[in-house]
Structure 1
Amino acid sequence: MHTVWKGSISFGLVNIPIKLHTATENKDIKLRQLHKECHTPISYQKVCEGCKQEVKSEDIVKAYEYSKNKFVILDEEELEKLKRENEDKAVEIIDFVKLEEIDPIYFERSYFMAPDSGGGKAYSLLRKALLESGKIGVAKIIIRSKEQLAIVRVYKETLLMETIHYPDEVRSVQDVPNIPSEENVVQRELETALLLVDQLTTTFAPEKYTDDYRTALMELIEEKKSGNQIVTATDEKQPVAPSNVTDLMSALQASLDKTKKKKPATRKRTTKAKTLA
């Protein structure tokens, strides 16, 4: 399992060297875009809006737009230094809270925590403490150049870290449009709705839920493959030469072709004239 982060986490004076591994994976079927005419994959270029020219990676800098068309440029060295200074810090569990106190809207991404060399005993201690107390830990961590709020909890004998949104990252419900105001609900309708809820109530079994669209899409793809309904991209074309060179070569070739055509044409006309005579 690929390690996405390596460091340590602490609570009180207990320090645990750990590794993070992504706990979930995206199984969306990725579709490529092809040119309809020749079935060659479409590529995307980075183009400067001002110069209307393609820009190379080495000519790109990062900046923060603080107002319309006003930027503060940030050097890679400055960003890297800032990143190192924060990543080198041990992740500290700040508080312990109950899981049910956090609304699911805050949760973002899950990572399995594995003890690194020499961290097994402290790892087991934290896991046992969380189980016995019924609490979860709240911590801060920097992943992919972003400081994240996170919680640490027990999941099937494993410590799991879940990044969560900061409060200011969760939009206000007041901004949601067209929410109806409280209206009178007919008691009979409510009773029928509650009866339906009761009939559909069961124990959550995640394995019974499947991605029907993904399954149907893969079946369609396999059906087309078996029916030989496939296309092959044309060979990659050579880079186009600069326009001035192209124009010069075209002119030279056209001149050469014109010269070649003149000589045979003259001979043919002479021969034809003799025959008619």
Structure 2
Amino acid sequence: MPRAIWNGAISFGLVNIPVKLVTATQSKKVSFREVRRGDNSRIRHRKVAANDGEEVTQDQIVKGYEIAPDRYVVLDPDELKALDPGRSRAIDIEDFVDLADIEPLQYESSYYLLPGEMGGKSYELLRRAMQETGKAGVARFTLRSKQYLAVLRPVGPALAVSTLLYHDEVVSPAQLDGLPEDVEVADRELTMASSLIESMTVAWDPTRYEDEHRQRVLELIERKAEGEDLAEASTPERDAGDVVDLMAALEASLSAAKAGDEPRDAGRRDTA
């Protein structure tokens, strides 16, 4: 059971629901320490000034905003602290929106909300009402002296809150170069592509997808820890190949998918 990292209340209108915030994700990435080859001595990193190479202590460090090359506006910690949003124990819902309308690119970090003492009924009422209406609550809350824009939504029997990037932090497709323009797609090509997608469609099950690279790294670590002498091996680079005939590729892929084979190499030219 994750430990609560924040206690407060969901607030909307005149309703207040006591809740506890717990983490909804946990990193499983393999972490390494930097050590010196030969004796495995830990590597230490020191902070030094670029001008003279002198080591800098923490009390000498201030924040500088670069306004031009090597020109900074320096801000003291007290000046920044004065701009902090202040302590708050409320997740203030400002609006309700259709959950499907929120662009997934805006999602940042996610947490679960658990009902606080005496808050079970109002918690469940809000969760069920949002689930039945397909709505999500757009809110603001303060965590560790930083104010976040967030979306509150039902996830199974729980409520979850995800911090959001602001709209100007997400790159718009209109800013992208190189997207296809005035491309004609034949009806038959679209039908074939749609059929291929349908043939490869399964019910979403996150347990189908494992971090294979992480598992290989952990297995390597275990084998080396047991003293096994491993020959150098490299994973061959996978060549995407060149699609030379779109319809031929679609037809071959669809046939392979229906037969239960891998369709990945269909319609590609040998580049060897």
**Is TM more than 0.5 here?**
yes
Counterpart position of 2:43: 42
- 1:1-277 mapped onto 2 (5 Å cutoff): 1-83=2-84, 85-88=85-88, 90-227=90-227
Cα shift at 1:89:
6.0
Q: Deviation per CA, 1:63-84, whole angstroms, max 9, x where unpaired?
A: 333444343333333433443x
| CA distance, structure 2, for counterparts of residue 107 and residue 91 of structure 1 | 17
Q: Deviation per CA, 1:204-248, whole angstroms, max 9, x where unpaired?
A: 111111111111111111111122569xxxxxxxxxxxxxxxxxx
| CA distance, structure 2, for counterparts of residue 164 and residue 134 of structure 1 | 19
Moved more, 151-160 or 188-197: 188-197
| CA distance, structure 1, for counterparts of residue 65 and residue 156 of structure 2 | 43
- Number of aligned pairs? 229
Q: Deviation per CA, 1:75-123, whole angstroms, max 9, x where unpaired?
A: 333433443x433263210111111111211111110012233433432
Amino acid aligned to 2:14: L
Residue 76 and residue 7 in structure 1: after superposition, are their counterparts in 2 closer, same or farther (change >3 A)? farther
SS at match of 2:5: strand
Cα shift at 1:149:
1.3
Residue 181 and residue 206 in structure 1: after superposition, are their counterparts in 2 closer, same or farther (change >3 A)? same
| CA distance, structure 2, for counterparts of residue 95 and residue 115 of structure 1 | 21
Moved more, 35-44 or 65-74: 65-74
| CA distance, structure 1, for counterparts of residue 78 and residue 33 of structure 2 | 35
| CA distance, structure 1, for counterparts of residue 153 and residue 209 of structure 2 | 25
Structure scoring higher RCO (CA < 8 A, sep ≥ 6) equals 1
Amino acid aligned to 2:52: C
Cα shift at 1:136:
1.0
Counterpart position of 1:233: none
Residue 125 and residue 186 in structure 1: after superposition, are their counterparts in 2 closer, same or farther (change >3 A)? closer
Cα shift at 1:14:
0.8
Amino acid aligned to 1:108: E
SS at match of 1:124: helix
Amino acid aligned to 2:96: F
| CA distance, structure 1, for counterparts of residue 161 and residue 154 of structure 2 | 9
Q: Is the 8 A contact 2:138 2:149 kept in 1?
A: yes
Q: Is the 8 A contact 2:86 2:145 kept in 1?
A: no
Structure 2 gaps of 5+ residues are: 231-272
Structure that is richer in helix per residue: 1
SS at match of 2:130: helix
Moved more, 97-106 or 56-65: 56-65
| CA distance, structure 1, for counterparts of residue 75 and residue 7 of structure 2 | 26
Amino acid aligned to 1:18: V
| CA distance, structure 1, for counterparts of residue 136 and residue 75 of structure 2 | 37
State TM-score, norm by structure 2. 0.75
Residue 170 and residue 211 in structure 1: after superposition, are their counterparts in 2 closer, same or farther (change >3 A)? same
SS at match of 1:40: coil
Q: Is the 8 A contact 2:89 2:142 kept in 1?
A: no
Structure 1 gaps of 5+ residues are: 231-277
Q: Is the 8 A contact 2:88 2:142 kept in 1?
A: no
Residue 196 and residue 87 in structure 1: after superposition, are their counterparts in 2 closer, same or farther (change >3 A)? same
